[in-house]
Chain A
Amino acid sequence: MIKHKKMKKLLSFTLLSALVFMLMSFSNYTETNKTKHKIGEYMKTKHELGALPYAYDALEPYIDKATMEIHHTKHHQAYVNNLNAAIEGTEMEGKSLEELFANMGKYPMAVRNNGGGHWNHTMFWSIMGPNGGGKPSGKLLKAIEEKFGSFEKFQEEFNKAAATRFGSGWAWLSVDSNKALQVSSTPNQDNPLMDVADVKGIPILGIDVWEHAYYLKYQNRRPEYVGNFWNVINWKEVERRYDEAIK
């Protein structure tokens, strides 16, 4: 009998606790959802610097930690900040970078420079990684061999594009509208997605040849930096981008 009473008490306490807990959770839930919703809307309009997908020293000895740190936290961050400032309060706020690039000619230079800077660096970080290098495989390797004769000949052409870009800029491997591979280079922070580019396409590999990408380690020796870039390429990501581009 006593036992039964005790159990009843325990049961009602448990039920009450559960109810209180559920109510609290629900109010928490709605609160969190409200906040999330607010952040969600906010994020639509603000570009953000993504985390580097590996440690700052992960590309050593080819790209040093100090270079990676300054490049990501200072240069890339500045492009993000300046991009947000340039589009704030305009119709460009709701547009993706790709949408802006497609009509780049009609937007301000600050958007071209900083939007390009943000997109280019984000893709650059993604196509590099620790334990990189080697060669691509499968469809991409076949396409490279078909287009350039061999992987080595492709490397030569890409190296040349990177070495001969005068001033600041990027060298690219892109997929054009005929699904063909193209090597090209662009000045400053332009890229092949922009309607202002000489060679248009979807970039699947890119190398930053602004001096800030290599000066601390290589100074004037850009060809040495470009040569070492091949040791840090994450071909899996390049292949993924290739598959996406030929869809």
Chain B
Amino acid sequence: MSFILPALPYAENALEPHISEKTIGFHYGKHHQAYVNKLNELIKGSEFEKSSLEDIILNSSGAIFNNAAQIWNHTFYWNILGPKGLGNPNEIILNVINENFGSFEKFKAEFTNAAVTLFGSGWAWLSKGKNGKLVISQESNAGNPLTKGLKPLLTCDVWEHAYYIDFQNRRPDYAAAFWELVDWRKVESLL
């Protein structure tokens, strides 16, 4: 089975002015595409040739894991983002977040801190554990909470390629822009 790059759920300029069309052009059109191409190359003739993406993520390591997880992570990232104002957190989400973090502001501060302080390349995640509790975590490089039995609800890509054209070294500014783009309807659908 060959993997294909899933369609972007909006136009490449839909996240302007927070994330530029140029950034999406490279991030989706080049980086995400490259992970797809590379994985297809790597699994050819391997034990993972007929596996689902999730199976590969849960059972592989090294380059196969890196490329498979990066495909999954990026598809997820595109899906929980959207044009500004698309979906504010509604009462259902606010209640769950208040229960887990005390307040929406506290949650936002903790998630932002995870995104800003991750050293090197990686992702900040909000996930749901088997016990129903929400957790914020940092994953280096291609790391994905699925491998820890968690269900991802929200993610912020903090590889420099996600923000360098728009923000250069100013990752905190990118993290602030990220909050303007979260499509909370998507997050709710995953709860």
Interface assignment of B13: CB less than 8 Å from any CB of chain A: no
CA A216 – CA B34 in complex, angstroms?
A: 19
Would A70 and B120 be within 8 Å (CB), given that A215-B160, A220-B161 are in contact? no
Which of these binds chain A: B81-89, B163-171, B179-187?
B163-171
CA A74 – CA B60 in complex, angstroms?
A: 37
CA A212 – CA B34 in complex, angstroms?
A: 19
Interface assignment of B98: CB less than 8 Å from any CB of chain A: no
A166, A189, A215: the one contacting B161 at CB < 8 Å is A215
CA A113 – CA B120 in complex, angstroms?
A: 9
CA A210 – CA B164 in complex, angstroms?
A: 11
Query: Would you call B119 and A211 a contact (CB within 8 A)?
Result: no
**Chain B positions 62 through 80: 1 when the CB is less than 8 Å from some CB of chain A, otherwise 0:** 0100100000000000000
Q: Closest residue to A73 on the B side, CB-wise? A: B169
**Chain A positions 2 through 31: 1 when the CB is less than 8 Å from some CB of chain B, otherwise 0:** 000000000000000000000000000000
**Chain A positions 160 through 182: 1 when the CB is less than 8 Å from some CB of chain B, otherwise 0:** 00000011110000000000000
A39-87 residues at the B interface, CB under 8 angstroms: 70, 74-75, 78
Would A219 and B26 be within 8 Å (CB), given that A74-B168, A167-B140, A212-B169 are in contact? yes
B30, B66, B119, B160: the one contacting A188 at CB < 8 Å is B119
Interface residue tally of chain A, by bracket?
20 to 34
CA A215 – CA B121 in complex, angstroms?
A: 14
CA A210 – CA B121 in complex, angstroms?
A: 8
CA A70 – CA B141 in complex, angstroms?
A: 23
Interface assignment of A132: CB less than 8 Å from any CB of chain B: no
CB distance from B52 to the nearest CB of A (A): 22
Interface assignment of A109: CB less than 8 Å from any CB of chain B: yes
CA A17 – CA B179 in complex, angstroms?
A: 72
Residues on A with beta carbons closer than 8 Å to the beta carbon of B160: 168, 210-212, 215
Interface assignment of B101: CB less than 8 Å from any CB of chain A: no
Would A166 and B142 be within 8 Å (CB), given that A74-B169, A78-B169, A211-B161 are in contact? yes
9 nearest A-B residue pairs (beta carbon): A211-B160, A167-B121, A167-B141, A168-B120, A188-B120, A215-B164, A220-B30, A74-B169, A168-B121
- Mind listing 8 A-B residue pairs with CB under 8 Å? A167-B141, A167-B159, A210-B160, A211-B164, A212-B160, A212-B168, A215-B165, A216-B168
